[in-house]
């Protein structure tokens, strides 16, 4: 049965490719005249305007942003959680920022329960989906033009950390914000190093599927707070 199926599939592949090839007979491929200027020139910002643009774009889609520093951000995160009466936070304790936050909480005896995503999702789906109100993750940078955060989930900071908890706090180093997607992709050398999952996140989850009325918190986070580290 499965052998038959794979033979079928092989035939389908060859038949499709055969049809396409014969349709192209006598033609030559179009040259790649990729025009970087079209993608970058309209989306350039002076250094002092770059972060402002990113914040403006994020805020236009209900993302919250806060300018802070490497030393101060744990305090800002704790304040944001307190404001929402959230007593638990999912962190990645093996990352530098996770460690810094955990140390801060311990040293200052902050009444906050920290959780780690330290086992496969199957082992704690119920808790992740229904008893994890907030998460803290890092980012790989940001894009000013569209107000986007770049996330490449890792074993330390898995994919669902930025998606399932209703309140997502993301750390963004100001120095890692680029003007546009092309610049960022080029500089970070994406084409040679794509991870299993790469993400652009631009605001909290939303939908306009009912009568074009915008509503936030569709299936992902209801709130997104971006802590921008000005000195990093």
Partner 1 sequence: MSTLADVPGVPIAFKRNAREALDDRQLRRNFRGAMDFLMDKRRSQFPDGDELERLRAFGNRVRARALSKLPELLERLDANLTRNGVKVHWAETVEEANAIVHRIVEQHAAKKIIKGKSMVSEEMEMNHYLGERGIDCLESDMGEFIVQLREEKPAHIIMPAIHLNAGQVAKLFHDKLEVDYTEDVDRLIQIGRETLRRNFFEADIGVSGVNFAIAETGTLLLVENEGNGRLSTTVPPVHIAVTGIEKVVENLRDVIPLLSLLTRSATGQAITTYVNMISGPRKADELDGPREVHLVLLDNGRTQAFADGELRQTLNCIRCGACMNHCPVYTRIGGHAYGTVYPGPIGKIITPHMLGLDVTRDLPTASSMCGACSEVCPVKIPIPALLRRLREEAVRAPEAEPHHVRGQGTKYSKKETMVWKAWRSLNTSPVLYRAAMYAGTRLRGLMPSTIGPWTAHRSAPRLAARTLHELAREHLGDQ
Q: Which of residues 143-202 bind partner 1 (CB under 8 A)?
A: 145-148, 153-155, 158-160, 163-164, 181-182, 185-186, 190-191, 194-202
**Which helix (H) or strand (E) covers residue 23, if one does?**
helix 2-24
Using CB under 8 A as the binding rule, whether residue 44 contacts partner 1 is answered as no
Number of chain positions touching partner 1 (CB under 8 A) = 83
SS3 178: strand
**Contact range with partner 1 by CB under 8 A, out of 73-81, 103-111, 119-127, 132-140:** 119-127
Question: Least distance in Å: CB of 54 to partner 1?
Answer: 12
The rounded distance, in Å, linking the Cα atoms of 146 and 177 is: 11
Other C-beta atoms closer than 10 Å to the C-beta of 192 total: 6
Question: Least distance in Å: CB of 59 to partner 1?
Answer: 13
187 Cα distance to chain centroid:
18
Question: Least distance in Å: CB of 79 to partner 1?
Answer: 25
The residues that bridge with 229 in the sheet, in sequence order, are 68, 173
74-93: contacts with partner 1 (CB under 8 A): none
Using CB under 8 A as the binding rule, whether residue 120 contacts partner 1 is answered as yes
Using CB under 8 A as the binding rule, whether residue 142 contacts partner 1 is answered as no
Residue among 198 and 232 whose Cβ is closer to partner 1: 198
Residue among 145 and 228 whose Cβ is closer to partner 1: 145
49-68: contacts with partner 1 (CB under 8 A): 57, 61
Using CB under 8 A as the binding rule, whether residue 219 contacts partner 1 is answered as yes
**Contact range with partner 1 by CB under 8 A, out of 20-28, 68-76, 81-89, 132-140:** 20-28
**Contact range with partner 1 by CB under 8 A, out of 80-88, 95-103, 104-112, 122-130:** 122-130
Question: Least distance in Å: CB of 71 to partner 1?
Answer: 30
Using CB under 8 A as the binding rule, whether residue 46 contacts partner 1 is answered as no
Q: At CA 65, angle to CA 190 and CA 200, rounded to 5?
A: 25
Measured N-to-C along each axis, helices 73-83 and 96-107 cross at an angle, to the nearest 10 degrees, of 70
The residues that bridge with 187 in the sheet, in sequence order, are none
Please check whether residue 141 is in contact with residue 172, taking contact to mean a CB–CB distance below 8 angstroms: yes
Q: What are phi and psi of 90, to 5 degrees?
A: -90, 120
Residue among 106 and 116 whose Cβ is closer to partner 1: 116
The rounded distance, in Å, linking the Cα atoms of 58 and 67 is: 13
Please check whether residue 67 is in contact with residue 76, taking contact to mean a CB–CB distance below 8 angstroms: no
Q: What are phi and psi of 220, to 5 degrees?
A: -100, -155
């Amino acid at each position: 049965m499965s052998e038959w199926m794979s033979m079928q599939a092989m035939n389908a592949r060859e038949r499709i490719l055969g049809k396409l090839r014969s349709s192209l007979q006598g033609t030559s491929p179009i040259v790649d005249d990729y025009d970087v200027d079209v993608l970058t020139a309209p989306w350039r910002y002076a250094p002092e305007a770059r972060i402002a643009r990113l914040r403006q774009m994020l805020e236009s889609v209900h993302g919250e942003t806060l300018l802070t520093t490497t030393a101060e951000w744990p305090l800002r995160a704790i304040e944001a959680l307190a404001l929402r009466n959230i007593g638990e936070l999912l962190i990645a304790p093996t990352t530098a920022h996770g460690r810094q936050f955990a140390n801060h909480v311990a040293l200052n005896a902050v009444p906050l329960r920290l959780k780690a995503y330290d086992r496969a999702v199957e082992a704690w789906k119920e808790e992740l989906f229904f008893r994890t109100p907030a998460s803290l993750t890092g980012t790989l940078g940001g894009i000013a033009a569209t107000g986007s955060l770049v996330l490449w989930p890792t074993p330390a900071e898995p994919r669902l950390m930025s998606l399932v908890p209703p309140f997502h706090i993301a750390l963004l180093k100001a120095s890692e914000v680029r003007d546009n997607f092309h610049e960022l992709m080029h500089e970070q050398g994406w084409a040679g190093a794509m991870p299993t999952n790469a993400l652009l996140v631009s605001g909290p989850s939303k939908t306009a599927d009912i009568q074009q009325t915008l509503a936030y918190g569709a299936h992902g986070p209801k709130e997104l707070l971006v802590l921008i580290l000005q000195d990093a």
